[in-house]
Structures are given as C-alpha cells and as structure tokens.
A = this chain, B = another copy of it.
Amino acid sequence: MPATIADNSVGIVATQISHFTEALTLECGKTLNEYDIAYETYGELNASASNAILICHALSGDQHAAGYNSQDDKKPGWWDSAIGPGKVIDTRQFFVVCINNLGGCKGSSGPNTINPETGKFWGPDFPIVTVKDWVKCQHRFMSSLNISRWCAVIGGSLGGMQVIQWTIDYPDLLKHAIVIAAAAKLSAQNIAFNEVARQSIMSDPDFCDGHYLEKNTVPRRGLMLARMLGHITYLSDDAMRDKFGRELREGKLNFGFDVDFQVESYLRYQGRSFVDRFDANTYLLMTKTLDYFDPAGDYGDDLALAFKQASARFLVISFTTDWRFAPQRSHEIVKSLLQAEKQVSYIEVEATHGHDAFLIPIPHYMNVFGSHMKIIAGELC
C-alpha cells in the first residue's frame, strides 16, 4: 500500500474496459470482429471537449500511467512522475487518456485474452499489430469518449512512434504532438536486439509454440532473458557505471557462476519480476510492432513527405546518453519536420540515464516539458 497518497497524485484510479463490435481490419489483412480496450482516464473532460490528451505507452507499458489501482499498490503508474494535479501533465487542466494497446496484456484484447470465435486463448494466433493499427484503434476509441480532437498526443519510445503516426494518419485530429526518445524507424541493431529477445522466448521449451497458457505454463526463462537484454539497452553505459560500477555483491569474486557483480544481481531481479507482470506473446508482438514501424515507407522513404499533411505543432525531446534511440534519431525526425516546414521545438536533454531517462523526472526535462504544457494549457478554450 502506498504509505500516503501525495496531494499531487491522481489517487486511486480504476481501469475501465470498452468493448468494440465494429470490425477492425489490420495491416496484416486480418480482421478483429470485436475487441476490448482497457483504459484509464485522469482529470475531467471540459465542456468543449478541448482538453483531452492521449498518452501512448511504450513496449512494456500499459494503460495504468498514473495513480494507484488500489490501496495495496506499492508502485504508482508508469508515468506518475509526469501526470497528476500540478504535475507537468496537469490533471487539473487536462483530461488524460491512456489505453492499453491492442495485443497488450493488461485487459485489451491480446494473446492472453479469449478469442471470442474459438473460446480459447488467442495465444500465438493474435494477429501482428502495427503502430498504424494502434492509431486507427485509438482513433475509434476517441469517438467513444466523444472527443473529436486531441489537444495533444504524447509518448516516449514506442509511444513516440504512435505520436508520429497520429500526425500523419489523422493530421487534423491533434493539435500538439510530443515525441520523446523515439525514432522514425528501427536501425538494424535495434532489430537485432529484438530478434535475440524473440529467440530467447521462442526457444524456451515452455513456450510451447505460443500455446503456453493453454498448457498452464509460462516461458519464464525466455521472457526473463528478453527483459534482461532489454534492460541493458535502456540504460546507458554511464548509468550502469554510476549505478553498479564493478561492485561485487559479496565483496569478493566467488570463482563460480553465481552472482559476482551487483549488475548481475540487478539484471536477474529485473528479469524475474518482469515475468510476473508481462505476457511473453505480447512481448513478441510488441517487438515486431517496433521492427515494422516505418512511416516513411509509404512515402518512398521520404519522411519529410510523410509529414507533409501534418498540422500538429511538434515538441521532440531526446536524451544525450540514450543509445537505444540516440539523439541522432530525433535529429532525423526534426530535420524532416523542418524540411516539411512544420512547427517544431527540439530539446536534447543532458542525462546520464540512457533511454530510461524519458521516464525519469530530470529537472531540465520536466522544466522544458512543463513550460510547453503550460503554453498548451493557455490555449484551451
């Protein structure tokens, strides 16, 4: 239980589920005839419905972005540092919406839910979903809340990719786009890391070709490895040095294969705890979603052309030690936006934390992001 819930917390919040019965055709060609979307909202929609913000989550995120789901929750939502009354995304001014993307594992239709057409777990048969599919789905969801235009769409990492896709696919339906620690497409190295993560999961005998839930098992080892590997790419070399250095867990080398260094202990812990909260098939799907993201692909690999119709005002943020999606990747986005003559602000934040920085309330980051949000709030009618 949270010792006390701070005044600037959104407090206790409940995930809600919306059921959609209008068929959704996905990029892969498959159709979901019906599906659920789990979501949370914070703050109040104003009378003109002009203050709605969509938060897009990253690979291992979900709809629970802020506050606590119960008095027993030990940790708040994944972006609680930025969302709440008086925080950067101020819930006294904005109506904040966060949905668990299709294919997720926290209540939206995905591999760990029941396929209504078979009565069995979707498992590996859940279709591959793309960022374009998600944005299409979020667009439908938006109507269900009677929101006709987002005041802003905001996201970090894979979340930032959804923001980019929004500005291209529904240019008139968002006023502001905030793209944090993202990239316009994955590099071969990014894909390579994802592939090792997938092979870790898929080669685990308990994966059972993806049908592990039916067999009442879980590919724990594979998912743990995938998460350990992911964690290395989320932290900078500097952050790891500052956090662990070569510190020994027991003060001496053990000349065996147990943990010697603190960093090993940390990674094993991160890996193990992830297994208890995430679904392996969802992890596989999300990595493919990342690999497939390539909004310029439809525009002859010309990102500036892809942005041509965009009308949102952009804020792009990167972090100096992020090597998963390095500042150079944000530069590509900014350059294309400038080439397309769009309105864009760009901030490169000095941070030692690597890719994880986007989740951390680093003062300079919060100040710049906060000032920008105040301007957006000032425009509300």
Interface set of A (CB-CB < 8 Å, partner B): 27-29, 124, 127-128, 185-189, 191-193, 195-196, 198-200, 202-205, 221, 224-225, 228-229, 231-232, 235, 237, 240-241, 243-246, 253, 255-257, 260-261, 263-264, 267-268, 271, 284, 288, 291-292, 294
Contact = CB atoms under 8 A, between A and B. Distances in A.
A255 B188 contact: no
Contacts of A294: 246
A188 B245 contact: yes
Contacts of A186: 246
B191 A263 contact: yes
B255 A29 contact: yes
Contact of A284 (B235, B243, B257, B288): B257
Given A192-B240, A253-B292, A199 B225 contact: yes
Contact of A188 (B192, B198, B225, B244): B244
Contacts of A288: 257, 260
A202 B246 contact: no
Contacts of A188: 237, 240-241, 243-246, 261, 263
27 contacts: A127-B255, A128-B256, A185-B246, A187-B241, A188-B241, A188-B243, A188-B244, A188-B263, A189-B232, A189-B235, A189-B240, A189-B241, A191-B263, A191-B264, A192-B263, A193-B232, A195-B263, A195-B267, A195-B268, A196-B228, A196-B267, A199-B225, A199-B271, A203-B221, A229-B229, A257-B288, A260-B291
